[in-house]
Structure formats: structure tokens, C-alpha cells
């Protein structure tokens, strides 16, 4: 059970769109739609942003969207805002009631 692969960092200017990828295997992302994304501001509790690959919890801005294709999931943030600057983690079900997270991506809003 290896960690999902995410880019270490991405950046964008206010108003732009960015996409963070999350690559797994046929044992996790490639088989199960149970992919979720979390926003983490250091020192705070992680916040669920996307579940079941593309669904948004109530209260999460529609600027956040998710997708999944093959062994890769992605999180897109449109209309970047300064408050979006944070670490983002993907998570996937890996079978047999186990879960695997990605290594995290630091988003910098320029």
C-alpha cells in the first residue's frame, strides 16, 4: 500500500485556475470512486473539499471541482483566491477497509 502521488507544489495567480493531480494504482484510485480531497491550513483541522471523486460537501465553494479517470484523480480550483493557499491531500479507498493518502501538494497563490 503506497502513498498516492501528488505534485509537491503548484502555484497560480488570483483569478486563475489550477489542477492538482493524484495518481494511484489499479488497487485504489483505478478501482474505487471513493476518492476525497482535503484542504489543510497548517495548524488547523483538515477540511473535506471533495468526496466520491467529484461531489462537493454542503458549504464548499463551487470553485472546487474533482474528477477521476483511470488511476488518476484531480482537483481543480477555479478563480483562485488568496484564502485557497494551503496544502491539499487526496485520499483513496484501497480495499479491505484500508485507506491511502497522497503526499500532499502545497498551493501558493502568487
Handedness of CA 61, 50, 110, 40 (dihedral sign): positive
| Nearest distance in Å: CB 46, another protein | 5
Binder of another protein out of 55, 69, 79, 110 (CB under 8 A): 55
Instruction: Name the residue nearer to another protein (CB basis): 15 or 93.
Output: 93
Query: Taking CB under 8 A as the criterion, which residues in 10-49 touch another protein?
Result: 33-34, 36, 38, 44-48
Q: How far apart are CA 109 and CA 14, in angstroms?
A: 6
Instruction: Name the residue nearer to another protein (CB basis): 71 or 105.
Output: 105
E strands, 4-104, in order: 9-12, 18-23, 35-40, 47-50, 64-69, 72-77, 86-93, 99-101
Instruction: Name the residue nearer to another protein (CB basis): 36 or 74.
Output: 36
Asked if 3 contacts 89 with a C-beta cutoff of 8 angstroms, the reply is no
Start-to-end C-alpha separation, the chain: 35
- Does 88 participate in binding another protein (rule CB under 8 A)? no
User: Footprint of another protein on this chain (CB under 8 A)?
Assistant: 1, 3, 6, 33-34, 36, 38, 44-48, 51-52, 55, 57, 89, 91, 93, 96-104
Amino acid at each position: 500500500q503506497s502513498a498516492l502521488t501528488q505534485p509537491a507544489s503548484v502555484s497560480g495567480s488570483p483569478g486563475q485556475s489550477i489542477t492538482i493531480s493524484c495518481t494511484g494504482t489499479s488497487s485504489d484510485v483505478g478501482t474505487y470512486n471513493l476518492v476525497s480531497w482535503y484542504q489543510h491550513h497548517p495548524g488547523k483541522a483538515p477540511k473535506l473539499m471533495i468526496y466520491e471523486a467529484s461531489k462537493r460537501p454542503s458549504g464548499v465553494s463551487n470553485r472546487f471541482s474533482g474528477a477521476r479517470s483511470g488511476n488518476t484523480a484531480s482537483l481543480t480550483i477555479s478563480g483562485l483566491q488568496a484564502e485557497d493557499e494551503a496544502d491539499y491531500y487526496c485520499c483513496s479507498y484501497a480495499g479491505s477497509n484500508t485507506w491511502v493518502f497522497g503526499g500532499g501538494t502545497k498551493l501558493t497563490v502568487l
